[in-house]
């Protein structure tokens, strides 16, 4: 089952990267819970995740996510990822204007699956690094 679950997560990441958001409908359960990683003001569930993705694409139109590791056990899949892109649309939620700066933000996603569909998602992202790369806050020791 673990390999099948990893394949589902691979398909999800491929759909996000290609912009094929309709392909996600068959990969997420109707009761999908992303409340721990939701964006304020964005609805919960898959529709909210799609909205968040569209917001990210406006900020980083060349956004790409590389899955660096997939680890699965039972009904859980952990993905270590790296998002790269160019800030061409700004980050309204953080008050960051478009500035053409490159960004590379690592994150870890934890997916829980049931019957071949994603029912839960949690993520830890390095938003501080992203803000530093975009010039919205100073780096370590003022760099």
Which pLDDT belongs to residue 114?
97
Residue 38: pLDDT above 70? no
Question: How large a percentage of the chain has pLDDT more than 90?
Answer: 82
- Structurally, the chain folds into a number of domains equal to 1
For residue 143, name the pLDDT band (cuts at 50, 70, 90).
low
Kindly state whether residue 131 falls inside one of the protein's structural domains: yes
CATH number at residue 55: 3.10.450.50
What is the span of the domain harbouring residue 72? 2-137
Kindly state whether residue 63 falls inside one of the protein's structural domains: yes
Kindly state whether residue 104 falls inside one of the protein's structural domains: yes
DSSP at 140:
G
pTM: 0.90
Kindly state whether residue 112 falls inside one of the protein's structural domains: yes
Distances (CA, A) of 6 to 1, 12, 80, 88: 9, 10, 12, 32
For residue 139, name the pLDDT band (cuts at 50, 70, 90).
confident
Kindly state whether residue 142 falls inside one of the protein's structural domains: no
CB–CB of 127/96 below 8 Å? no
Kindly state whether residue 27 falls inside one of the protein's structural domains: yes
Specify the residue for token string 């530093």: 132
- What is the number of alpha carbons within 13 Å of residue 72 lying toward its C-beta? 17
């Amino acid at each position: 089952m673990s390999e099948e679950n990893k394949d589902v997560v691979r398909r999800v990441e491929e759909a996000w990267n290609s912009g094929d958001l309709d392909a996600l409908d068959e990969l997420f359960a109707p009761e999908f819970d992303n409340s721990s990683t939701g964006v304020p003001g964005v609805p919960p569930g898959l529709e909210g995740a799609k909205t968040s993705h569209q917001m990210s694409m406006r900020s980083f139109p060349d956004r790409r996510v590389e899955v660096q590791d997939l680890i699965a056990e039972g009904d859980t899949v952990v993905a270590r990822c790296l998002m790269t892109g160019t800030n061409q649309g700004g980050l309204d939620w953080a008050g960051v204007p478009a500035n053409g700066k490159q960004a590379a933000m690592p994150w870890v996603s934890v997916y829980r699956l049931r019957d071949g569909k994603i029912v839960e998602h949690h993520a830890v992202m390095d938003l501080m690094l992203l803000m530093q790369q975009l010039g919205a806050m100073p780096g370590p020791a003022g760099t």
